[in-house]
Structure 1
Amino acid sequence: MSVVKGLMVCLLAVGVVPAQAQPDRWQQRVKYVMDVNVDATTNRFTGKQKLEYTNNSPDTLYKVFYHLYWNAFQPGSMMDVRSRELGKIVIGRDSKGNERRDWDYRVADKISKFTPEQTGYQHVLSLKRDGVPQSFNMLETILEVPLKKPILPHSTTTFEMEFEAQVPVQTRRSGRNNSEGVDYSMAQWYPKMCEYDYEGWHATPYIAREFYGVWGDYDVKIAMDKKFVIAATGYLQNPNQIGYGYEMMGTKVIRPAGEKLNWHFIANNVHDFVWAADPDYKHITQQVDGFVAHFFYIENDITKDTWPAFAKMIPRAYEYIKAHYGPYPYKSFSFIQGGDGGMEYPMATLIMGNGKLEGLYGLGVHEWMHSWYQGMLGTNESLYPWMDEGFTTFAENNVLYHTLDSTREAFAQESSYNGYFNLVKSGYEEPMSTHADHFKTNYGYTQTAYNKGAVFLEQLGYVIGTENRDKGLLRYYADWRFKHPNPNDFIREMEKESGIALDWYKQYLLYSVKHIDYGIDTVYTNDNNKTVIRLRRIDDFPMPVDLLVTTKAGKQTMHYVPLSLMYGSKPNENGNIMRTVHEAWRWTSPTYDVVIDTPLNELGEIVIDPGLRMADINRSNNILKF
């Protein structure tokens, strides 16, 4: 049985519940029941939330925390101040000589100029636990709740909350009236319980970056004016009362009386819930292998052609995704025009949609791949953003490379390597282990999380072999779905798959800003009439070396020098080229002599890392022609 077929059997057997073979790590559990009533004339809504919270930890909890994300969209908030401070940093100049400031253009100084009607907020009106009122402290985007009685280990309790909110003008993922005309992008819209794990509470204020959530079940009802079409996480429970493309084929839609429709969605084993609404949404669907893809967009002269074409491209993309990263376990996914760029959520994504087809496809694939590394694996993105954004960028690059003919001329990960090299040159590089909100610059965060994170994976294929890495990714998916893996969890999976020690790789790439730079030092004939190729490690990051030697007659031999810290060797990746494995290079030695039988006068070319997978910051000294 193939790896992918085996994973499918596992998923079919257990739905989306973690397989028994997965590593044992406890997870908290939530069950939300929410009922919200939207007033589109005031851009406000009221809500009732019932939250069943299960403490699966061995710890007694004396308080809990909720996220109140929309309180960031007010003048003077931490998000506002942080954005304006970063905007003071000049990170270069554009082609016209103008200063390039370190803005996140989606925020910039926008929040500081909001009027009261433009702001966003979430106000908790009341909170009870098991029927007993609880006091609480609102600390901007965090609600702290000191409990009157602690939550004991392995027990379940129920919180009931009433809240009200105002939808902000579109700003950083959420809001109303975005630049493409979408009325409501409802991301981070409800008070959300913070995650508690083996590291404790993660009550992370909303400054700019990504999210971390508790897996559970959502039962959400939304009352809204009948003219709106709603797209959301989960499965619509009353499609034949709603219509708008949700109804069963051939069914006559009979909507209840009244000015509003009550939309009812259910989503199981997800860690968030998003929705969007617009009167002009067009809703089309595409059958994919095992699920239905939904597409919601505002039709215009561009989208009337691009979105239907985009929908037709999804089955081919999924064929590659399933084979390399694992099957999608839910029965639907929605691509929704909305937001202010692209942002992933369980079973759905908000994406800007007025661009060209290739750009729409690339953005859609990137956000959809988050369903694996953010949706199913659910790494803490504040602590390890590269494990989501970097892995997703790596997967996106590969999907586009293998499904778009226009990308075939370039190395699939070329843009990520170039982004990383530019980061090194910029002077804004910080360790990958830096907390997402605490990078000195937006630029440094972006290049590190997305591009250096993608390089981490591509270069890992160089270290352990592409086949081992790809099998390891499927193994990682199977073992750590719904488990919140950390960097060590991932590295251990790759070590188990390859038999190669990788702690050194993790330490150098994650916790330092040391760089890779290897060069050909000298080539000479020794006393035994053997040719000696002396390699030099110029910078501090040790690596194994692929050295391709080509004679003037065109004969090629790969000379492979493993690193002593690996305690092993990668397999031969090209059976068409003879390979010689040399003694391991001890990392304490700055030079290494590769001794070969080919006479010096017969050499045509010597190349370090001919596949360009090693992130060598100076490749000019990697090749020598005779």
Structure 2
Amino acid sequence: MKNLLSLVFVCLISLAVSGQTCYWQQHVKYDMDVVLNEKNHQLSGEQVIDYTNNSPDTINEVFYHLYFNAFQPGSMMDVRSRTIEDPDPRVNDRIAHLDETEIGFQKVLSLFVDGKPAKYQTLGTILQVLLPKPILPGKTAQLKMEFLSQVPVQIRRSGRDNKEGISYSMTQWYPKLAEYDKHGWHPNPYVGREFYGIWGDFDVSITANKNLVIGGTGSLKAKTENKNNTTTWHFEAENVHDFAWAGDFDYIHDTKEGPNGLKIHFYYENEEDLIENWTWVQDKTVELFKIMNSTFGPYPYKSYSILQGGDGGMEYPQATLITGERSKNSLLGVIVHEVIHSWYQMILGTNESLYPWMDEGFTTFASGIVMDQLLERKTFNPHTRSIGGYVRLVESGKQEPLSTHADFFHTNFAYGVSSYSKGSIFLWQLNYMLGDEVFFPAMRSYYNQWKFKHPTDKDFIRVMEKKSGVNLDWYLESWVYTNNTIDYGVKNVEKQTGGSLITLEKVGEMAMPIDVKITLNSGKELFYHISNYHLFSGKGVKRKFMHPEAQILNSIDQSLNPWPWTHPEYQFTVKHNPEDIKIIEIDPFQGTADVDRSNNIYTKKPGVAFKGN
């Protein structure tokens, strides 16, 4: 009762200080000791978890993820890959053809809770455990397990002997306790999508062949040579929600000093055609951390490992696995994307299954900015590829709302473009609406307020509202929870006393603030801003952009009245006759993902009257 009262007191203090609802999250401490037998690719292990119930609920059961069980013929991942319209080519039907020596498995040999045996059952990739004694609010229970795993051949993320010859890509490799939050348990079967984990500390000892070089999450605390030609690698990681590692017999291990005492580790194959690119990218990686620290918030850990391995690029706390046989720019691009996941998922630990766009999309947005600086492109809008991909998805008719659970998208195409591109555009449009001087400090505030927690989409939008002073719930609701599209057009230009009456039309279902550029025959350019009625910010937001190309937006006359979303048309007047107007363009900087830009530009043609399309 005392612990529960303390929890309530903390929540009340939190409410008084921040005005937020009471926030809590569970905590774990993993202590794992595993032995790898590379002859049969099996891993035997002991795992002790101290699980602290910080919720106000009594816990009567717990769930574990047993990810390796997905790599068996007939598994949910196997069937899903063979029945979805556009399977991932890395998976396709490969799982269905694995033999007993190639499959993956995780077998629980024993499980005790506070010294008492627990009842449990394995359902595919999920272990359900009935606790011999409930875990009360504020209490900690110790879960002790013995397990045996077989590392599958490399197919998706985890595995052995990938296509580049890396011996072990050890991700999703241990029985991992599922997360319990205010929405309850999240024991999602593994079908190849996203992850969600409990914040905690890891103490991991890996014993393997003495010639295997190992790197991964956290810091190496000790490396012990054993008498039986094995080595034990002892790693520790604090305040993370997963642990990954990789091992190979031919790894080169380089290090670079990063900002704020960070040590960056690079593990890659000792092959002549790889060494040049992997050496070149190291200084760029240091710059990457510097840019991210100043733009989005400081990286809080003291180590990061980039390991050649896996099946593409996949992020984990303080580490990423990347296939390494790439061109320089490809290698840099993948490293940039995966490292930035350290901010969006590894520090801001959203539930990726529910909010994959807050993970992949936010990372894609930041990647565009960082790559633009690293390659000195100096473009105002480095997100045009994301916009183009999103428009193609809309045109395909396969778009699904961003609020769709990651596992339940009907196509990989829709999942990929939605999570990466549409998620990135979510931030770009917000950046364009608010301007750099508001948007980027607000992003850093979001980072500082929610790091090492599990923020939701509503948590994010509230931070942006508080920092901008405008209403933004309409934006979240329209862009994330619907398939509504943005499409504006110039409909008509009419002569009237003292100038011209310009009529714009809203063809798409979603309303947005827009800019209008008018170019006169003389070459003079006029800019107008039409605010969104939903913002409740008077005549609009006074934006400030840093990029020279967008300086003109800092001085736009923002006196035009807002455009109510219910109105299909909007009219305003200019003090120039139609014959003096050469071009009218809506959204000249592509600040919105307008799905049909053919009606955005109206050009006067010689000898033709200037009237609407």
Choose the corresponding residue for 1:45, options 43, 49, 54. Answer: 43
* CA distance 1:33–1:303, change in 2 (3 Å): same
1:145-203 deviation digits (Å, cap 9, x = unpaired): 11121110111110100000000000210000000000000000100100000111001
Work out whether 1:401 is the aligned partner of 2:372: yes
Choose the corresponding residue for 2:208, options 216, 224, 242. Answer: 224
- Using the TM superposition, give the Cα deviation of residue 579 of structure 1 relative to its aligned residue in structure 2, in angstroms: 1.9
CA distance in 2, matches of 1:310, 1:371: 18
The answer for the alignment partner of 1:304 in structure 2 is 275
What pairs up with 1:219-368 in 2 under 5 angstroms?
219-239=203-223, 241=224, 255-290=225-260, 291-368=262-339
The answer for the alignment partner of 2:8 in structure 1 is none
The answer for the alignment partner of 1:117 in structure 2 is 101
- Using the TM superposition, give the Cα deviation of residue 576 of structure 1 relative to its aligned residue in structure 2, in angstroms: 4.1
Work out whether 1:442 is the aligned partner of 2:408: no
Q: Is the 8 A contact 1:68 1:141 kept in 2?
A: yes
Work out whether 1:378 is the aligned partner of 2:362: no
**What is the total number of aligned residue pairs between the two structures?**
577
Q: Secondary structure at the match of 2:557?
A: strand
1:38-79 deviation digits (Å, cap 9, x = unpaired): 111110011000000000000111111000010000000000
Q: Secondary structure at the match of 2:343?
A: helix
CA distance in 2, matches of 1:275, 1:579: 52
The answer for the alignment partner of 1:598 in structure 2 is 576
Fraction of identical pairs, as percent: 46
Choose the corresponding residue for 1:81, options 47, 55, 79. Answer: 79
1:409-443 deviation digits (Å, cap 9, x = unpaired): 79411111111011111111111100000000111
- Using the TM superposition, give the Cα deviation of residue 320 of structure 1 relative to its aligned residue in structure 2, in angstroms: 1.4
Equivalent residue letter for 1:545: I
1:361-413 deviation digits (Å, cap 9, x = unpaired): 000110011110010001001011000001111111111111114x5579411
Q: Secondary structure at the match of 1:580?
A: coil
CA distance in 2, matches of 1:188, 1:225: 21
* CA distance 1:507–1:304, change in 2 (3 Å): same
The answer for the alignment partner of 1:27 in structure 2 is 25
Equivalent residue letter for 1:342: G
The answer for the alignment partner of 2:166 in structure 1 is 182
Choose the corresponding residue for 2:562, options 584, 596, 600. Answer: 584
Q: Secondary structure at the match of 2:165?
A: coil
- Using the TM superposition, give the Cα deviation of residue 256 of structure 1 relative to its aligned residue in structure 2, in angstroms: 4.6
Q: Secondary structure at the match of 2:253?
A: strand
Equivalent residue letter for 2:483: V
- Using the TM superposition, give the Cα deviation of residue 258 of structure 1 relative to its aligned residue in structure 2, in angstroms: 3.0
- Using the TM superposition, give the Cα deviation of residue 21 of structure 1 relative to its aligned residue in structure 2, in angstroms: 7.5
- Using the TM superposition, give the Cα deviation of residue 598 of structure 1 relative to its aligned residue in structure 2, in angstroms: 2.6
Choose the corresponding residue for 1:421, options 383, 386, 391. Answer: 391
CA distance in 1, matches of 2:45, 2:19: 37
Q: Is the 8 A contact 2:498 2:576 kept in 1?
A: no
Equivalent residue letter for 2:112: K
TM-score normalised over the length of structure 2: 0.92
Q: Is the 8 A contact 2:381 2:589 kept in 1?
A: no
Q: Is the 8 A contact 1:461 1:467 kept in 2?
A: no
What pairs up with 1:599-614 in 2 under 5 angstroms?
599-614=577-592
CA distance in 1, matches of 2:31, 2:127: 19
Q: Secondary structure at the match of 1:237?
A: strand
CA distance in 2, matches of 1:590, 1:269: 51
Choose the corresponding residue for 1:507, options 466, 477, 481. Answer: 477
The answer for the alignment partner of 1:36 in structure 2 is 34
1:105-159 deviation digits (Å, cap 9, x = unpaired): 1110000000010000000010000000001010110000111211101111101
The answer for the alignment partner of 1:14 in structure 2 is none
1:552-599 deviation digits (Å, cap 9, x = unpaired): 223222211101111112214455464222111111110000212233
The answer for the alignment partner of 1:546 in structure 2 is 515
Q: Is the 8 A contact 1:557 1:580 kept in 2?
A: no
Q: Is the 8 A contact 1:231 1:296 kept in 2?
A: yes
Work out whether 1:170 is the aligned partner of 2:148: no
Segment drifting more, 124-133 vs 297-306: 297-306
CA distance in 2, matches of 1:212, 1:409: 35
Q: Secondary structure at the match of 1:374?
A: coil
* CA distance 1:393–1:22, change in 2 (3 Å): farther
CA distance in 1, matches of 2:18, 2:508: 42
* CA distance 1:575–1:261, change in 2 (3 Å): closer
CA distance in 2, matches of 1:611, 1:302: 41
Equivalent residue letter for 2:507: I
Q: Secondary structure at the match of 2:227?
A: coil
Equivalent residue letter for 1:71: N
- Using the TM superposition, give the Cα deviation of residue 463 of structure 1 relative to its aligned residue in structure 2, in angstroms: 2.1
CA distance in 2, matches of 1:378, 1:127: 28
CA distance in 1, matches of 2:380, 2:75: 43
CA distance in 1, matches of 2:333, 2:523: 40
Work out whether 1:66 is the aligned partner of 2:49: no
TM-score normalised over the length of structure 1: 0.90
Work out whether 1:535 is the aligned partner of 2:513: no
CA distance in 2, matches of 1:575, 1:36: 58
Equivalent residue letter for 1:580: D
CA distance in 2, matches of 1:313, 1:486: 32
CA distance in 2, matches of 1:384, 1:576: 35
Equivalent residue letter for 2:521: K
Considering only aligned residues, what root-mean-square deviation do their CA atoms show, in Å? 1.5
1:268-301 deviation digits (Å, cap 9, x = unpaired): 0000000111110110001111201000000212
Q: Secondary structure at the match of 1:371?
A: coil
* CA distance 1:147–1:293, change in 2 (3 Å): same
CA distance in 2, matches of 1:408, 1:183: 40
Q: Unpaired runs of 5+ in structure 1? A: 1-19, 90-101, 242-254
CA distance in 2, matches of 1:302, 1:344: 25
Q: Is the 8 A contact 1:464 1:500 kept in 2?
A: no
CA distance in 2, matches of 1:470, 1:557: 27
CA distance in 1, matches of 2:327, 2:256: 20
Equivalent residue letter for 1:81: V
The answer for the alignment partner of 1:143 in structure 2 is 127
Segment drifting more, 144-153 vs 75-84: 144-153
CA distance in 2, matches of 1:199, 1:80: 29
The answer for the alignment partner of 1:198 in structure 2 is 182
Q: Is the 8 A contact 1:67 1:191 kept in 2?
A: yes
CA distance in 2, matches of 1:22, 1:117: 56
Q: Is the 8 A contact 1:174 1:188 kept in 2?
A: yes
1:199-246 deviation digits (Å, cap 9, x = unpaired): 11001110110100001000000111101000110111115x5xxxxx
Equivalent residue letter for 1:202: H
Q: Unpaired runs of 5+ in structure 2? A: 1-16, 545-549, 605-613
CA distance in 2, matches of 1:312, 1:131: 50
